[in-house]
Amino acid sequence: MQLENTNIILGITGGIAAYKTPDLVRKLVAKGANVRVVMTQSAKEFVSPLALQTVSGNPVSDDLLDKDAEAAMGHIELARWADKLLVAPATANFMAKLTHGLADDLLSTLCLATPAPICVAPAMNQQMWFAEATQANLKILEQRKIQFLGPAQGEQACGDVGPGRMLEPQEIADLLAQETLEQVLAGKRISITAGPTREEIDPVRYLSNHSSGKMGYALAIAAQELGATVTLISGPVNIPPPAKIQTVSVSSAQQMYDAVMQTTHNCDIFIACAAVADYRVQQKNHQKIKKSESELTLTFIKNPDILSDVAHLAQAPFTLGFAAETQNLREYAIGKLQRKKLNMIAANDVSDSTIGFNSEQNALSVFWSKGEKKLDIADKQLLAMQLMHLVAQRYTEDTND
């Protein structure tokens, strides 16, 4: 929900890519934005105002001289309401109007009247994009700090191939969300463990747990969106590695330990979200164990405690551990915080099957030496963003102490 409470005017101009705008509105709304759509007359040839009104939940505006609209939210009021004005798709004609400051319809008037930053997602034939006039307009608009999202390369509606396609709705929404976020972790290197480990018993069997990696992966993405350089050390999961995050895949606790020690020596923050097996079999069988006896006894030995060893390094990073508990959440979590010498610990009650292991949602009680905070039940992505903000705050306070 990185666009929570952000007011966005989506200006739609008359290009074929306008048919994608109901999806763009849905993607922006899914990130928490309030969206009001403004259309040019020719945009209405490509997409219906009713569809846009339905997905945005707000009336669509298209007329500068609309008495009804002026009685409700007039164009100056609308211009002031916006935190951001996004024009998508923006035609070559619209770019030219913007360059020259024309104000002959509602959208171009809003562009002059709004104090909000303006973003433009161009969409046009590649020849029109390369045209000298369009390129000159682009230069002027960029000098005026108008932000360009795209265009993308590829096959165009007219059959040409080249730059001029509008970015996909998801890409536009992600780009807007990223820059709306304050980069509170800019310049920080963060290592995060995620997922389960597998402790092999013989060539066909292993000991593991129900961790899906969702919480750890959500943390890695949130940390990256807040400006950090992230290394993700992941046990075996069914989630694809996040784009642009260095991901090291491991299987056993010992492999996770080795990977962490190799990648963590120069990190600022270490987050242990993995559900690491505490024990492994003392002697792995090299052949499949046969069921000849009525009982089977295996001897387990302790795995290294990755989090505790990182926290006890001479140059230890800021450490955030997790505690998966089924009872006495507070007491056990604070015990781990102190025993492992951590800066923070986030505890989840895994006796509740709707949160924690392998679910879409989680709820966390976060503890540190001088305080605590509850993060109520929410999707793991949202919770990860809240937790990373808390980490950034605690990290800054601890390093300034």
Which range in 131-139, 206-214, 225-233, 280-288 contacts ligand PMT by CB under 6 A? 206-214
Least separation in angstroms between CB 386 and ligand PMT: 14
Q: In whole angstroms, what is the distance from residue 65 CA to residue 46 CA?
A: 22
Q: In whole angstroms, what is the distance from residue 174 CA to residue 267 CA?
A: 26
Q: Does 273 bind ligand PMT (CB under 6 A)?
A: yes
Residue 360, SS3 per DSSP: coil
Q: In whole angstroms, what is the distance from residue 3 CA to residue 280 CA?
A: 44
129-164 burial: b if 16+ Cβ within 10 Å, else e: beeeebeebbeebeeeebbebbbeeeebeeeeeeeb
Q: Check if 267 is active-site.
A: no
Q: Using CB under 6 A, which of 107, 173, 215, 221 touches ligand PMT?
A: 215
Q: In whole angstroms, what is the distance from residue 113 CA to residue 105 CA?
A: 12
Closest CB to ligand PMT among residues 97, 198: 198
Q: Does 344 bind ligand PMT (CB under 6 A)?
A: no
Which range in 113-121, 141-149, 159-167, 210-218 contacts ligand PMT by CB under 6 A? 210-218
With beta carbons less than 8 A apart as the criterion, state whether 343 and 398 touch.
Answer: yes
Question: Quick one: which of 93, 146, 121, 92 has its CA closest to 10?
Answer: 121
Which range in 92-100, 117-125, 352-360, 388-396 contacts ligand PMT by CB under 6 A? 352-360
Q: How many residues form the binding site for ligand PMT (CB under 6 A)?
A: 29
Least separation in angstroms between CB 226 and ligand PMT: 19
Which range in 142-150, 181-189, 266-274, 371-379 contacts ligand PMT by CB under 6 A? 266-274
Q: Does 213 bind ligand PMT (CB under 6 A)?
A: yes
Instruction: Look at the alpha carbons of 129, 132, 133, 136 in this order and tell me if their dihedral is positive or negative.
Output: positive
- What residues between 293 and 332 interact with ligand PMT by CB under 6 A? 303, 305-307, 321-324
Q: Using CB under 6 A, which of 336, 375, 378, 395 touches ligand PMT?
A: 336
Q: In whole angstroms, what is the distance from residue 66 CA to residue 74 CA?
A: 9
Q: Using CB under 6 A, which of 275, 375, 388, 392 touches ligand PMT?
A: 275
Give bridge partners of residue 300 from the DSSP assignment.
281
With beta carbons less than 8 A apart as the criterion, state whether 270 and 318 touch.
Answer: yes
Question: Annotated catalytic sites, by residue?
Answer: 158
Interacting residues with ligand PMT (CB under 6 A) = 193, 195, 211-216, 253, 272-276, 278, 303, 305-307, 321-324, 336, 348, 350, 356-358
